Structure 1
Amino acid sequence: MLAWYVSYGSNMHAARLGWYIGGGCPPGGKRTYPGCRDRRPPSRSTPVSLPGGVYFAGESAAWTGGMAFYDPHLPGEAAARAYLVTLEQFTDIAAQEMYRPPGDTTELIPATGAAIDAAVANGRATLGPGRYETLICPGSRDGVPMLTFTAPEGASAVRCRPPAPIYLGMIARGLRESHGWPAERIATYLADRPGVAGAWPPDAVAALVDRALADG
């Protein structure tokens, strides 16, 4: 079975997702990833837009600062990137986001796909109480379900927190790589996200985006 893994954060950058699949510690990161059991790269990827928005909250163990979460009830659209992966790979990516070992599907995504079926039918499935343990299905593409995960709470129910510069820069590179946006559009998009807005002056976001894109 296949699924579209939809990333709206740093995994929009394909090399960043590669650490989740192949394992290891990305440059500038503070966490070593065990990787997926199936280490083949995604067979396809495509830029997508999701109804709602992205906000930053909590504390990232990998980057420090706020983490990106998706809230389908925010106004506007969230820029994202969909990767065509196997169900097993999706499960292992999700397990690593939840700090579980790859292959630990207990109460996550049963091998039968029942939880995915529930998310496809209802748009949402709760896999646990923690961060990234809420499964969202915003639709399908080419007959394959699109799946992402986020926090159980929306932006209005949490205290938003600014992300670390290196994390925001990785997201900027992912937006350029997946959507082909110019630096100005990327900076405007990021500066408007809850957790960034009010904490980062727009000119500081623009300067960070310029540096991130120049570094590749």
Structure 2
Amino acid sequence: MDPGRPGVPPERVWYAAYGSNTDPARLGYYIAGGRPPGAARNCPGCRDHRAPRESVPVELPGVLYFATESEVWSGGRAFYDPDVPGSVVRAHAHLITAGQFADIAAQEMYRSPGTDLDLRTVLHEGRARLGPGRYETLICPGLLDGLPVLTLTAPWQCADMAWNRPSGTYLRHLAAGLRSADAWDTGSVARYLAGAPGAAGVWTAEAVEALLSGAPGDDGPPGVGPG
């Protein structure tokens, strides 16, 4: 990934998903609409229902952590702090239109899709705060094949948050999505997720790896309480 900046907002962008949308099947509901299995609400979908033109693995500078309480997953949500040095966040980057990115962002913010985003600030400065809540801050860590890499996170920093244990169902989606990127093996993905703040000390790499084999784990490993 190139740390440069594009000159003008392009028609296509790379959406770097590091949470449940690492899983292409899950992302499909944000694009085409419908209720994902186990979800509490419907996704309205994008105006453009076309699947991503391409999906590739990327590593973003910063750290992944789990915090707040998800109404969908009953555990901590994944967030990205780009300001933590010395580590990387693994993501699945999906090549989509700028309009599709705007509609996915709206759904993550619990807003109605259908309005394009003004990307000039995030593309020029690397960050744009659209609101005070989770997933209402846009980040552009650089370029991939000349197109901007964009993702969503919260305005706060990892060190300022009370971390929260993610559920097994949620971790299963993240692990499956990262494995589908075809860049990291199962053990590496499990160690990465189990080491993230909020999961570390609660989930073991072995327990995360077991989730991919269909083992139960929605409430965490046996004998381990919430973080």
With normalisation by structure 1, the TM-score equals: 0.89
Unmatched tracts of structure 1, length 5 or more: 111-115
Q: Distance in 1 between matches of 2:50 and 2:193?
A: 31
Structure 2 residue 30 is matched with structure 1 residue 20: yes
Which of 182, 193, 198 aligns to 1:195? It is 198
SS of the residue 2:30 aligns to: helix
Which of 169, 172, 177 aligns to 2:175? It is 172
Which of 59, 76, 80 aligns to 2:91? It is 80
SS of the residue 2:69 aligns to: coil
Give the drift of 1:40: 0.7
Give the drift of 1:64: 1.6
Deviates more, 1:195-204 or 1:26-35: 195-204
Unmatched tracts of structure 2, length 5 or more: 1-10, 216-227
Post-superposition Cα deviations, 1:83-135, rounded to whole Å, max 9, x if no partner, equal: 11111100000000000011145xxx23xxxxx22212211111111110111
Q: Distance in 2 between matches of 1:63 and 1:104?
A: 27
Q: Which residue in 1 is equivalent to 2:223? A: none
| 1:1-216 to 2 correspondences below 5 Å | 1-74=11-84, 75-104=86-115, 109-110=117-118, 116-211=119-214
SS of the residue 2:139 aligns to: strand
Q: Which residue in 2 is equivalent to 1:113? A: none
Post-superposition Cα deviations, 1:161-197, rounded to whole Å, max 9, x if no partner, equal: 0111111000000011013422211111111000100
| Contact persistence 2:12–2:98 (CA under 8 A) | yes
SS of the residue 2:128 aligns to: strand
Q: Distance in 2 between matches of 1:184 and 1:45?
A: 22
With normalisation by structure 2, the TM-score equals: 0.85
SS of the residue 1:186 aligns to: helix
Q: Distance in 2 between matches of 1:165 and 1:42?
A: 27
SS of the residue 1:47 aligns to: strand
How many residue pairs are counted as aligned between the two chains?
A: 204
Q: Distance in 2 between matches of 1:97 and 1:50?
A: 20
Identity of aligned residues (%): 52
Decide which structure has greater helix share: 1
Q: Name the CA shift for 1:165/1:126 in 2 (closer, same or farther; >3 Å).
A: same
